[in-house]
Amino acid sequence: MRSRSTHLVIPDPLTPGEVAIEARGITFTVGQRELLSGVDLTVHAGEMLALIGPNGAGKSTLLGALTGDNHLTSGSVTLAGTPLHEWTLKQLARRRGVLLQDNGVFFPFTVEQVVEMGRAPWLGTARDNEDEVAVREAIESTDIHHLRQRQVPSLSGGERARTAFARVIASRTGILLLDEPTAALDLKHQEDVLQLARQRAANGDAVVVVLHDLGLAAAYADSITLLQRGRVAAAGTPAEVLTSERITAVYEHPVEVFPHPVTGALIVQPVRR
């Protein structure tokens, strides 16, 4: 049996309903520009929360604050009850998986090698015996099995996006932070990715996802935080946040929100003259 250093600690799994991420009064300023102002946000284990808002509203900036990539001007973020600044990078890598907008890989790694990178945080721990299964399941669930031996620079934008998402899925962390995971995808793969994220939440993970498509947010999210100019304009269930009046005002374009006649799911549609 291989010896393992005492610092290779496996984090306890989150319990359903436990607060996975909590942000309180966070402000982020670059130069003279305040990109986030007094933002509060709570995400629970077993919940999928969507961040929505117009271009420049602060969605990706907020996600960067939750990952620790954006150092706050003021306010606090806790991850699984511990202040974010107290986590080491290795500890963070075992607690949350992050998918950024810019996920390009330009070195000639194969798809399988990139997905295997998602297992790096578990090297030398008791969970490294999951590597083979985790990589295989991530590749199959993201529909990239036929691309396994392709070099990533040869892929289309959508294929690269699915490869990057598979890397995050393979990490098997209890918290997923996803920045526009559907942006480069066709209709089928948009649904596949969000169904997979939804399933992870149903299995007890906490999922935060930045989305531009309000219909997808309505269909898949348990809760929504709507941002406007760096502030929270509304937060709650899809039905509470996605009203015609509010979305019309925030996006500065007339929008209709109505239930699907068969399923009752919310449909969000711009008014086209």
3-state secondary structure 2-66: CCCCCCCCCCCCCCCCCEEEEEEEEEEEECCEEEEEEEEEEEECCCEEEEECCCCCCHHHHHHHH
CATH topology of domain 19-103+174-270: Rossmann fold (3.40.50)
pLDDT in tens, 23-79: 999 999 999 999 999 999 999 999 999 999 999 999 999 999 999 999 999 999 999
Give residue 31's identity as a one-letter amino acid code: G
User: Over 50: is that where the pLDDT of 5 sits?
Assistant: no
Tens digits of residue pLDDT in 73-115 = 999 999 999 999 999 999 999 999 999 987 666 688 999 999 9
Q: What is the mean pLDDT of the chain?
A: 93
Residue 11: per-residue pLDDT: 87
Per-residue pLDDT of 10-21, as tens digits, reads 888 899 999 999
CB 224 within 8 A of CB 217: yes
Report d(CA 14, CA 80) in Å as an integer.
8
Sole residue written with tokens 């907008």: 101
User: In this predicted structure, what is the pLDDT of residue 164?
Assistant: 95
Whether the CB-CB separation of 218 and 266 falls below 8 Å is answered with yes
Asked whether the predicted pLDDT for residue 208 surpasses 50, the reply is yes
DSSP-assigned letters across all residues of 152-216: GGGS-HHHHHHHHHHHHHHT--SEEEEESTTTT--HHHHHHHHHHHHHHHHTT-EEEEE-S-HHH
Residue 1: is its pLDDT beyond 50? Answer: no
pTM: 0.94
Domain ranges of the chain: 19-103+174-270
